[in-house]
Amino acid sequence: MTEPDKLLLQPRDVRFDWSQLPMHWVPREPFATHVLNVLHLLLPEGERWFCRVFHHALPLVTDDRLAEDVRGFIGQEAMHAEAHQGVLAHLPAKGLDPDPFVAQVSWIFKRILGERPTLTVRAHQEYLIERLAMVAAIEHVTAFLGDWILNSPGLDRAEADPTMLDLLRWHGAEEVEHRCVAFDVMRHFDGRYLRRARAMVIAGPVLWIMWIKGAKFLLANDPELPRGTKATWRDYRRAVRKGLMPGPWRIARSMSRYFKPSYYPTQEGSTAQAVAYLAQSPAAQAAH
């Protein structure tokens, strides 16, 4: 095993100042801005849920090295949730109240995927493993997105807000850095192919639908756009051509990799590139 994959995972303390953030932080690109803004709607609730699920799994992990990774993972995801929460908290000052959408996201993670205290011990264990497999599936998507954001010169060309780019690239780099943890934890409990394939068949489309709904919500409620602005596939194709978001084939290829029996998360992204970005991330440096 090469050295970068055996790094000790540590949360990096970060600081971001959103007081100067324009509503359209990809200038003149409200569509791309809001599609990327969906991350701020989904991640605080989603990553806190990751942390809760991993807290339940931690006492059952019998491998010391893996348990250490789990603690590092929880620390990093908790920090990510807080960082995106900071952007969310800034939106009402711009005239966009995200709460109606965040309430739906919260309902999914707390009600649908939350604790079920009435389950038997055996059913509880099965439910935990199923949720770990969903975290592993979502972590494939976050590693894909992390790799993409670290290699997205289109956003630099479009002069996207540097603080927001740093948030996304700091987060993306840590996603690439810890991309094996959820997969390893799932396999620690259940290494069967069916388990992970099933989790992605469920989590993938739900994530896709939530993303489209989130982008529609933000565009329709943005006070700087005509009321009821709609997202179109043409907008998406245009943004992909400009390198402002990943294209459909790239997404499809990445998803198909997850379904290969030989899949392992190191196939997605480069640890060396992620660690290099983290060493010079302005937000990570500002906190020291």
- List of residues contacting Fe ion (CB under 5 A): 77, 80, 142, 175
Closer residue to Fe ion (CB): 24 or 178: 178
Tally of CB atoms within 10 A around 42: 20
What's the one-letter identity of residue 182?
A
Closer residue to Fe ion (CB): 39 or 160: 39
| Least distance in angstroms from the C-beta of 179 to Fe ion | 7
Cβ neighbourhood burial of 266 (10 Å; 0-12, 13-18, 19+):
middle
Q: Output the CA angle 186-183-34, nearest 5 degrees.
A: 120
What is the rounded distance in angstroms from the CA atom of residue 14 to the CA atom of residue 123? 39
Closer residue to Fe ion (CB): 57 or 158: 57
Closer residue to Fe ion (CB): 244 or 274: 274
Closer residue to Fe ion (CB): 24 or 80: 80
| Least distance in angstroms from the C-beta of 262 to Fe ion | 22
| Least distance in angstroms from the C-beta of 220 to Fe ion | 27
| Least distance in angstroms from the C-beta of 167 to Fe ion | 11
| Least distance in angstroms from the C-beta of 276 to Fe ion | 19
3-state secondary structure at position 49: helix
What is the rounded distance in angstroms from the CA atom of residue 102 to the CA atom of residue 221? 14
What is the rounded distance in angstroms from the CA atom of residue 142 to the CA atom of residue 135? 10
